[in-house]
Structure 1
Amino acid sequence: MISTVQVIGIGTGDPGLVTYEAAAALREVDVFLVADKGDAKADLVEARRALCEHFIGDSHPYRFIEVPDPKRGPDAERDSTAYGAGVRDWHAARVAAYAAIIDQLPEGSTVGFLVWGDPAFYDSTLRIVDALRETSGPFEVRVHPGISAPQLLAARHAIPLNRIGTSIHVTTGRRLVQEYSPDLGDVVVMLDGHLACRDLVDQHPDLTIYWGAYLGGPAEVLRSGRLAEVIDELVALRAELREQHGWVMDTYLLRP
Structure 2
Amino acid sequence: MITLSLVGIGSGNPDHLTREAIKTLDSADVILLPRKGAEKSDLADLRRMIATEILTTAPEIIEFDYPVRDANTPKYLDGVDTWHDALAGIWQNLITDHIQPDGRVALMVWGDPSLYDSTLRISDRLIARGTPLRVNVVPGITSLQMLTAAHTIPLNTLGAPVLITTGRNLRDAGWPQEADTVAVMLDGECSFSHLDPTGIHIWWGAYVGMPQQTLMSGPLGEVGDKIIQARANARAESGWIMDIYILRKTDH
Question: For residues 69 and 195 of structure 1, what CA distance do their matches in structure 2 show?
Answer: 25
Are positions 1:146 and 2:130 aligned together? no
Cα shift at 1:192: 0.5
Q: What is the Cα deviation at residue 184 of structure 1? A: 1.2
- The equivalent of 1:120 in structure 2 is 114
The answer for the alignment partner of 2:16 in structure 1 is: 17
Shift of residue 105, structure 1, vs aligned partner: 1.6
Instruction: Look up the SS of the partner of 1:231 in the other structure.
Output: helix
Q: Does 1:66 align with 2:59?
A: no
Kept after mapping to 2: 8 A contact 1:99/1:136: no
Determine the C-alpha separation between the residues in 1 that align with 2:130 and 2:13. 32
* Cα distance in 2 between the residues matched to 1:158 and 1:182: 26
Q: Output the CA distance in 2 between the equivalents of 1:68 and 1:190.
A: 24
1:204 offset after TM fit, Å?
Answer: 3.5
Moved over 4 A (4+): none
> Mind listing any 5+ residue stretches in structure 1 that lack a counterpart?
none
What is the SS of the residue equivalent to 1:103? helix
CA–CA separation in structure 2 for the residues paired with 1:141 and 1:34: 17
Q: Sort the Cα spacing of 1:232 and 1:209 in 2 relative to 1 into closer, same or farther, 3 A.
A: same
Q: How does 1:97-176 map to 2 (within 5 A)?
A: 97-107=90-100, 108-135=102-129, 137-176=131-170
Q: Does 1:198 pair with 2:198?
A: no
Corresponding residue of 1:252: 245
Distance (whole Å) between structure 2 residues aligned to residue 73 and residue 104 of structure 1: 27
Count of matched residue positions in the alignment of Structure 1 and Structure 2: 247
Q: Is the 8 A contact 1:188 1:254 kept in 2?
A: yes
Q: Which residue of 2 aligns with 1:210?
A: 203
Query: Residue type matched to 1:64 in 2?
Result: I
Tell me by how many angstroms 1:98 deviates: 1.5
1: CA distance between counterparts of 2:212 and 2:95? 35
Structure 2: any 5+ residue segments left out of the alignment? none
CA shift for structure 1 position 142: 0.7
C-alpha offsets along residues 16-63 of structure 1, whole Å, 9 cap, x if unaligned?
11112112111111111122121111121011111122331xx32312
- Greater displacement, 114-123 / 34-43: 34-43
